[in-house]
Amino acid sequence: MHYPDSMLMNADAKLVQIVDAATADAARRSGAWLKCRPGCTQCCFGVFAISQLDAVRLREGLKDLERSDPARAAAVRLRVEQTVLRLSPDFPGDSSTGILQEPEDGESGDDLFADFANEEPCPVLDPATGTCDLYASRPMTCRVFGPPVRSENGIGVCELCFDGASEEEILAAELKTDWSREEDLLNLEAQDLTGRTGSTIVAFALNTAS
């Protein structure tokens, strides 16, 4: 089924509700081990891959911000433009579109960023407040960051959280990510809608020139 723009966003909103509810449950089970607070910005430095579904959500969020707070939106736009200028020369992909190159055999997506923009602040991060200007529209990676998350490499946790926790305490707080199939299907719809395939990063997703 092909989603028109509004239908895609409605379906994405339902997915976001599922993800946010699961993350809130994991945060409750994490208790005091979870240190995430407004102003804690460590996870806002260094680039990471996002999907085209994430990119669509971010662009819609920026449109909403332009209507509600034009000055803040203009500041985001300026930071985006400055970030793209800084990152374009060494971008691991097509800097004209912002599409990341596919990892080669034996590589993971993280390998693309091993020596790229590790200290680069996210352009959506407000440097004055230490908060996200597009928080409601943030990518899935940002939404699930903090609680323990299982991947092919095992259980991962933020280095600021669960310091000193036992394995049992970490496993008891594990985030249950059982929405992957629905997210993948919606991402395919987003790719069909935009004509863009592959992953990108936040700055290029919001760059009007890409």
pLDDT, position 110 = 60
Q: What is the DSSP letter of 194?
A: H
Q: In sequence order, what are the residues at sequence separation of 6 or more whose Cβ sits closer than 8 angstroms to the Cβ of residue 44?
A: 121, 122, 125, 132
The helix (run of H) or strand (run of E) holding residue 151 is strand 149-151
What are the φ and ψ backbone dihedral angles of 156, each rounded to 5 degrees? -110, 140
176 touches 26 (CB < 8 A) = yes
CA 173 – CA 200 distance, rounded (Å): 30
pLDDT profile of the chain (210 residues), mean per 10: 76 97 95 91 93 97 97 98 96 94 66 79 96 97 93 84 93 93 96 94 89
pLDDT, position 117 = 85
CA 95 – CA 98 distance, rounded (Å): 5
CB atoms within 10 A of CB 44: 20
pLDDT, position 4 = 60
pLDDT, position 5 = 81
Percent helix, strand, coil in the chain, to 5, is: 50, 10, 40
- The total number of residues shown for the chain amounts to 210
pLDDT, position 168 = 94
